[in-house]
Structure 1
Amino acid sequence: MSELNWKIGFEIELISPKGLSRKDLAQLIANQHDGLVRRIFYPQSEPSQVPGTPLFHNLTLGFEVIDQQGCLIARCVDDLTLQDDLDKTQAPQPGWYRIVSDDTRLLQLITCNADAAAPLDEVLQPIANLFATDLEAGVGGMVRIADHIGNPIAIAAPLPGERERPCELITPPIDTNHLERLEILLTSARSLGFTIPAEGATHLHFDATPLCSTRVFANLVNLLWTHGENLKVLVGTNPKCRRLGTWDEDLLILINEPDFCELSWSDAREYLVKLQLTKYCDFNLKNIIHQIPEKHTFEARIFPTWIHPQPAIEAAALMEAVLNYAIAAPKIEPIAPLAWQLESVQKFLQKLPMKEYFRQVWLSRAASVDSDLLEQGVGV
């Protein structure tokens, strides 16, 4: 009943109890697998209040759990969208810091040359050596590095209060026994008292290899353009989730050009790259189009967080069925987004190629959602 047939990576956002951190979860997982914990840099971005600089890019501290053969078991990393559960008046924890820059290329340089296990006052020294410059100590324990004419390169600063508590639990791609492998990790989180954050979400990364066809890609876009909002209602997308939204209509126009499906996938990608799609939307296509190494995936970002694995498996089965429908259908025509109507949602679920157990789960969920909407007077 819990069987999935796709290689899927799970990203589940959690929050630690006060006094613990994502490092504690990584260490417990490592202990249970006779594995090792490595401190790593993990890239993040956040809106900036500085004119002309829309985003600040960060390297935050994460923890990678590997087994004795060096294979990844899980990562426990920060997610800057998780804010509401934190007491920002708390003092920074010793040894926790982040590195900030306005240029992702510089952060990539730092990732390749600095040691995430180094203390704050030493971590940028290899970068200072590369630029033949010196580290500059700043207020509040910050360390700054600039080039010879004063252009900023990066700043290392103590982590703000309680920022060690957010934990995005990331699995490697799982191709078999999804439920069992997820349960092992989430059992560890529950045992430490980790809970669901106010803005929490679950992101599912599906291996994109079967989707690399112009016909399949166009089918998928048309399907999700039409049914995406109803899927969000069906799965109960967290209204506090940040960085969601629909695609630009330019995508819909391009994939429905008469000759688009005649293109090779390689040629189609050249056109799709020019759209400069963002990953911060309901369904992230960027990793398919750009073929990002080690993350060649279709990412569904609409799901809430769960502390138990079964709902995550049911969500994955729903999206797996949508992907399989896009693969099997000869051509799916574009239709304007549908408003919620129980009958149309049920009809859509009946079309999807999924195991009957999962179908009944989602048909039952649709009926429950419809009942709630009727009570609220929505769509009546």
Structure 2
Amino acid sequence: MQPSSPAPAFPAEFAWKAGFEIELVAPRGKSRRDLANAIAETRSARVQTLFYPQSEVSQAPGVPVFENLVLGFDVIGADGNAIARCVDDLTITHELDFEAPSRKGWYRIISDDPRLIELARLTCDPTARQSVALAPLAKLFATELGHADHDMFRVTDRMGRSIAIAASLPGERERVCELITPPFERDHQGELATLLAQAARLGFTVPQQAATHIHFDATQLKQTASFCRLVEICHRFGEELKTHFRSNPHCRRVGRVPMELVALIRQPGFAKSGWKPAARQLQGLKLSKYSDFNFMNMVHDLPGKDTFEVRILPGSMDAANIAAQGAFFARLLEFCIARDKPVPETFDALLLAIND
């Protein structure tokens, strides 16, 4: 996919440390495990299975969200460094046949409490069979692992209250692959091209509901004035940026910059405060990652994810185009950390300013 209007002439290479999340779907008969294995084979690497947390909106009365642990696969190099991660993305549904039978060995763990799902992640073995995967959790609660029906295993506490369920994966969910890269400091296009070449070789495609997310290292953005400038730009020009890059209208769980965040950064004197006191105020807001621009990670200084995330880019398997989009936003971030530059009044002025 190409931008709806000519983008500034940025090269695909840029200096800002950034990681990528690229949403793909495997052809029938293949899975994200196959992509992880293919990447590993080209790099003399190993594949390690993991439980990866995902949340989804619940249809059950009184339970707004179900927390999930889905099966994912880390590709780890001989030096111990991450090469790629292949996980599910529960927002991708259009290409899947949910009437298809579940594939043997594919399951997920479900709970309505994020604390319990984290406990399951820390105690359960993702390589274990579905029938025994929750046994360590049952042991913690001093109960027996229950068998609810032919494809569901349950842990309850001694009062019978549900803790977690291991359920067979709905038909074809193993086909979905969010390809997550480690943060790259250089050669973003080349690194992406190497990974995406394996996806293309196996027949992976871009699903209808796909997006591309870029996580930019937030270290340089933790100056309150720079942060305020970034929030103001994302609020003021968010819709124009989405049009410019042809954001996918089928994407789920996105949204505009929350007005309570905009109101806070516009308070007199806020931009001049130090980052630590500013962050404490920002942490009092109910920020969500499910936004066009995700500020939550950097505000809460999440371990291993101290990033500003751009979530408006369309799905793509074009490494050069993805890297060029990253270069655009890297220049925008460089504009934000330049203290002497006010936020432009128009989108055209913004394009000129960051291309200056």
TM tier, shorter chain? Answer: over 0.9
- 1:262 maps onto 2:272 in alignment: yes
Q: Which residue number in structure 2 is paired with residue 350 of structure 1?
A: 352
Query: What is the Cα deviation at residue 349 of structure 1?
Result: 1.2
CA distance in 2, matches of 1:140, 1:334: 60
SS in 2 for 1:122: coil
TM-score, normalised with respect to structure 1: 0.89
8 Å Cα contact 1:222/1:334 also seen in 2: no
Q: Which residue number in structure 2 is paired with residue 206 of structure 1?
A: 216
Structure 1's consecutive aligned runs of 4 or more residues displaced over 4 angstroms after TM superposition are none
CA distance in 2, matches of 1:52, 1:28: 43
Task: Call closer, same or farther: CA 1:112–1:89 in 2, change over 3 Å.
Answer: same
- 1:196 maps onto 2:206 in alignment: yes
Q: C-alpha offsets along residues 189-214 of structure 1, whole Å, 9 cap, x if unaligned? A: 00000000010000000000000011
CA distance in 2, matches of 1:99, 1:46: 13
Query: Which residue of the other structure, out of 241, 258, 272, is the alignment partner of 1:248?
Result: 258
Identity of aligned residues (%): 46
SS in 1 for 2:160: coil
CA distance in 2, matches of 1:329, 1:77: 39
Query: What is the Cα deviation at residue 333 of structure 1?
Result: 5.6
8 Å Cα contact 1:306/1:312 also seen in 2: yes
8 Å Cα contact 1:134/1:145 also seen in 2: yes
CA distance in 2, matches of 1:228, 1:318: 14
CA distance in 2, matches of 1:77, 1:9: 15
8 Å Cα contact 2:23/2:179 also seen in 1: yes
Name the amino acid aligned to 1:220: L
Task: Call closer, same or farther: CA 1:117–1:91 in 2, change over 3 Å.
Answer: same
Q: C-alpha offsets along residues 33-78 of structure 1, whole Å, 9 cap, x if unaligned? A: 0000011101111111122210000000001000112110000000
CA distance in 1, matches of 2:168, 2:134: 13
8 Å Cα contact 2:225/2:339 also seen in 1: no
8 Å Cα contact 1:15/1:166 also seen in 2: yes
Query: What is the Cα deviation at residue 88 of structure 1?
Result: 0.6
- 1:165 maps onto 2:165 in alignment: no
CA distance in 1, matches of 2:313, 2:328: 11
SS in 1 for 2:257: coil
Query: Which residue of the other structure, out of 286, 292, 300, is the alignment partner of 1:290?
Result: 300
Task: Give the count of matched residue pairs.
Answer: 346
- 1:23 maps onto 2:33 in alignment: yes
Query: Which residue of the other structure, out of 63, 70, 73, is the alignment partner of 2:73?
Result: 63
Q: Which residue number in structure 2 is paired with residue 224 of structure 1?
A: 234
Q: Which residue number in structure 1 is paired with residue 124 of structure 2?
A: 114
**Over the residues paired in the alignment, what is the CA RMSD in angstroms?**
1.2
CA distance in 2, matches of 1:36, 1:353: 42
Q: C-alpha offsets along residues 92-127 of structure 1, whole Å, 9 cap, x if unaligned? A: 000000000011111111111111000001110111
CA distance in 2, matches of 1:250, 1:333: 19
Q: C-alpha offsets along residues 249-281 of structure 1, whole Å, 9 cap, x if unaligned? A: 111111111110232101001110111111101
8 Å Cα contact 1:25/1:189 also seen in 2: yes
- 1:237 maps onto 2:247 in alignment: yes
Q: Which residue number in structure 2 is paired with residue 317 of structure 1?
A: 327
8 Å Cα contact 1:226/1:334 also seen in 2: no
Q: Which residue number in structure 1 is paired with residue 6 of structure 2?
A: none
The structure with the largest helix share of the pair is: 1
Task: Call closer, same or farther: CA 1:182–1:265 in 2, change over 3 Å.
Answer: same
Query: What is the Cα deviation at residue 353 of structure 1?
Result: 4.2
- Residues 82-101 of structure 1: matches in 2 within 5 Å? 82-101=92-111
Task: Call closer, same or farther: CA 1:334–1:176 in 2, change over 3 Å.
Answer: closer
Name the amino acid aligned to 1:135: L
TM-score, normalised with respect to structure 2: 0.95
CA distance in 1, matches of 2:72, 2:332: 33
CA distance in 2, matches of 1:332, 1:280: 28
Query: What is the Cα deviation at residue 332 of structure 1?
Result: 3.6
SS in 1 for 2:24: strand
